[in-house]
Amino acid sequence: MGLFDGIAISASGLTAQRLRMDVIANNIANAQSTRSAEDPTIPYQRQRAVFTPVQGPGSFASVLQNSLQSPGQGVQATVEKDTETPFKLVYDPTHPDSIKDPNDPMYGYVRMPNVDISMEMVDMISASRGYEANVTAVNAAKTMALKALEIGR
């Protein structure tokens, strides 16, 4: 493991946690959006950041052997929609996006986004703590490098 590998790993973690906080902020901002940009007939769908470890190319055996010898190369974050959580239904027949068909059993209901503000706030706290942990790791690596340079004097 090189001198800057720990900093690079923490930097990928910082980038991933920042993306996670951006996604959470977007979810909170769209918590009442009954129309999405892609399709105005469906409400905004909650998004989430998914972290995957950065792996070098190669076969399973080589990846396994490299993982045993070095701690890794960091994480990569991607954004995907949460399609598992159902939309919330709110009865408001005066809302412009309510179901207007009187023959529909959901008449008067509005489909609201599947965003839970309290869950988003918990995720935001978790993301900020992860960000802080990565900043601490970068500072520790920087301090160790400076101490190693002082030894060489």
* pTM (global) more than 0.75: yes
Residue 105 in any domain: the answer is no
Task: Check pLDDT > 90 for residue 22.
Answer: yes
**Does any domain span residue 128?**
yes
User: How do residues 111-128 score in pLDDT, each as one tens digit?
Assistant: 999 999 999 999 999 999
Q: How high is the pLDDT of residue 59? A: 64
Domain membership of residue 104 (yes or no) is: no
Percentage of the chain exceeding pLDDT 70: 87
Span 65-83, average pLDDT: 77
> Which stretch, 17-26, 37-46, 81-90, 100-109, has highest mean pLDDT?
17-26
Considering the domain boundaries, does residue 113 fall inside one?
Answer: no
- Judged by DSSP in three states, 60 sits in helix
Number of Cβ atoms within 10 Å of the Cβ of 54 = 12
Residue 122 is assigned to a structural domain of this protein: yes
Query: Are 115 and 87 contacting, i.e. CB atoms less than 8 angstroms apart?
Result: no
In a domain, 28, yes or no: yes
Domain count for the chain, please give it: 1
The answer to whether residue 96 sits within a structural domain is no
Report CA-CA distances (Å) from 70 to 1, 63, 98, 116.
7, 10, 55, 39
Triad 39, 43, 46: Cα angle to 5°: 110
111 falls within a domain? no
Q: Which domain holds residue 58?
A: 5-84+118-151
